[in-house]
Chains A and B, each alone.
Chain A
Amino acid sequence: MKTGALCFSGTNLSCIRDDRVLFEQLNFTLQQGQALLLEGKNGSGKTSLLRILCGFRLPDSGSLSWCGADINGSEFYEHMAYVGHLDGFKKELTVLENLKVVKALNQPGRFSIEQSLEKLQLAGYDDVLVQALSAGQKRRLSIVRLLMTASALWILDEPFTSLDRQGIALTETLMTEHCANGGMIILTSHHDLNLSGVDLQRINLS
């Protein structure tokens, strides 16, 4: 993790979809070691907000800044990683082939591919085609992607979907570790989070 304070903030964000105001006047500031949980019922704009935070959508008003500069002019994309509804893996390629592409497209992180796979209990699956993995294993593989890249900010959309109980506990441990190492997390989840010792902010969208 890089030293020097990183900070991600949004000011006066709003999102309008099909003439419906999903949220407006939304503000947040995230410092290193903090996590932000977005809550709200289905359709309240959690995913839309995450996609705005990733830069896929422009907010209808307001701005996002990374360490004081607009995200598009800053090093934002060197420091962030996103896990969305789609896993972004090619099902015709093996686990290792997919992860090698991820490695080439991003800055190398704290863990190597093998170490990350081992941490998510996927060691030995290197040569398995992604289409042969179960939904939960694919989700674990998405989290492997977070560990092997140097990203301070994790943006996670429902990271616990289709994980088993042990997988959820494992992911929570990794998230707590990430924050303790100066990382930041923004996530949506319907699961009761258990991140002990993490400074957790909550935004309720509904």
Chain B
Amino acid sequence: MSLLQAFLAIVRRDLVLAFRRRSEIANPLLFFILIITLFPLGVGAQPKLLQAIAPGIIWVSALLAAMLSLDGLFRSDFDDGSLELLLLSPYPTSVLVLGKITAHWLVTGLPLLLIAPLLALLLGISERALGTLLLTLLLGTPVLSLIGAIGVALTVGLRRGGMLMSLLVLPLYVPVLIFASSAVDMATAGLPVSAQINIMVSILLLALVLTPWPAATALKMSIN
């Protein structure tokens, strides 16, 4: 019971912090909106082309927005010493790290999901594919936060770890990108998407179980 309390205390603390430093929520979301609104301008008056590449655009933007927000996951905790206190807690670090990842997703992933229908409309994604797009974002964005946490945990001790983190994390994001945009493509064509969705559910479940532990171990290495 108290482990649950510790988990919730971490989630609550990070949500309050995000609310007090609003730019942390606003930055990735603004970035996401900006890229997507620039595409129609760049592609020109070709609605068919735009519609065809729309799933890719939305997913690549979501991926970049997630990368942009990752650095904030452990940075301030590392700088002010609260990461040390997290590691010294008698509760399993992986559970507390999962709390931080949960808060990170609520702050950076969930807003993308909420704004996505509007942007999908802008790009001309068909109505029947909209549900699938939202479902892939719901399943995929938590995976971005979970996998990203390992990369950030490994590089938080380095002064300029941003580039290294991108190199570590991007290859692991590729399966999510492939299956998610393929699902939206299939849905646009009116084909069944259950295979892609099933794979995304399994990726999410695997990431949920497998990522907090290595992230916690990486944090222990970074702190020394």
Contact = CB atoms under 8 A, between A and B. Distances in A.
Q: Does B bind A? A: yes
Interface of A: 51, 54-58, 75, 77-78, 80-82, 84-93, 97, 100-102, 104-107
Interface in B1-48: 2, 5-6, 8-10, 13, 16-17, 20-21
B77 to A, nearest CB: 9
Nearest to A150: B90
Contacts of A106: 89-90
Contacts of A75: 90
Interface of B: 2, 5-6, 8-10, 13, 16-17, 20-21, 76, 79-82, 84-91, 96, 220, 223-224
Contacts of A89: 80, 82
Given A92-B20, A93-B13, A56 B87 contact: yes
Nearest to A91: B80
A105 B89 contact: yes
Contacts of A104: 2, 5-6, 8-10
20 contacts: A54-B88, A56-B87, A56-B223, A57-B224, A77-B89, A77-B90, A82-B85, A82-B88, A89-B80, A89-B82, A90-B76, A90-B80, A93-B13, A93-B17, A101-B9, A104-B6, A105-B9, A105-B86, A105-B89, A105-B91
A77 B86 CA distance: 11
B10 A84 contact: no
Nearest to A77: B90
